[in-house]
Structure 1
Amino acid sequence: MANYDSDTETKKITIALPTFLLLRLSDRVPSRQRSRFIARAVEERLDIEEQLAALEETAGAWPDEKYPELSSEEDIDRWLMDVRKTSLV
């Protein structure tokens, strides 16, 4: 996550929030900290969206037919342990 400080370039925008959400925000976050709070929340959500997109793009990269030795969770765990042992040497 990015670290926002006084040197970070910013741009003002206008957004609309549902009243109930604005009330929750006002109850929890002091007025001078709301932009930073919202920026971090947006960044976290964008990170999740980008991760989901990457997962969708790579789905099927390791098809079951090509890797029958990795057909169960136990097989995958065993393979990971072997890879980790090998990489430590």
Structure 2
Amino acid sequence: MSTALKQANFQLPEELLNELRATVGKREQSRFVSGALRKELRRLRQLKAIDETFGCWGDGEHPELTKGIDRFIRSNRKSTRGNRADVSGRD
């Protein structure tokens, strides 16, 4: 299924446009900008949801869930520590 496209006219800082042109092929620029915009809009929606729901669940409402949470987190981190890729590039 194809998405309908509409042309939009935006003003961008010159250095940003130059970097886009230097980094992304001419035929891929619209797709790149669309993806970046989609990602940023998703991030803003998530932040809004976090702000709107903050504090809606207190420890007093579910005290059984506070027991052993530190142990659970520690064991979970320990079990995945060896599986994580070293993203720093160091050996």
Specify the alignment match of 1:45 in structure 2: 40
- Name stretches of at least 5 consecutive residues in structure 2 with no aligned partner: 75-91
Matched length: 73
- Which of 8, 11, 14 does residue 16 from structure 1 map onto? 11
* Distance verdict in 2 for CA 1:30–1:61, change over 3 Å: same
User: 3-state DSSP class of the match of 1:61?
Assistant: coil
TM-score if structure 2 supplies the norm length? 0.67
1:1-89 equivalences under 5 Å are: 7-67=2-62, 70=66, 74=70, 77=73
Residue 63 (structure 1) shift: 2.1
TM-score if structure 1 supplies the norm length? 0.68
* Distance verdict in 2 for CA 1:46–1:76, change over 3 Å: farther
What value does the CA root-mean-square deviation take over the aligned residues? 2.5
**Greater relative contact order, per chain length (Cα 8 Å cut-off, separation 6+):** 1
Q: Percent of pairs identical after alignment?
A: 34
Question: Which deviations, in whole Å up to 9, do the C-alpha atoms of 1:37-72 show, x marking residues without a partner?
Answer: 000000000000000000001100112444455399
Distance 2:32 2:39 in 1: 11
Residue 32 (structure 1) shift: 1.1
- Name stretches of at least 5 consecutive residues in structure 1 with no aligned partner: 79-89
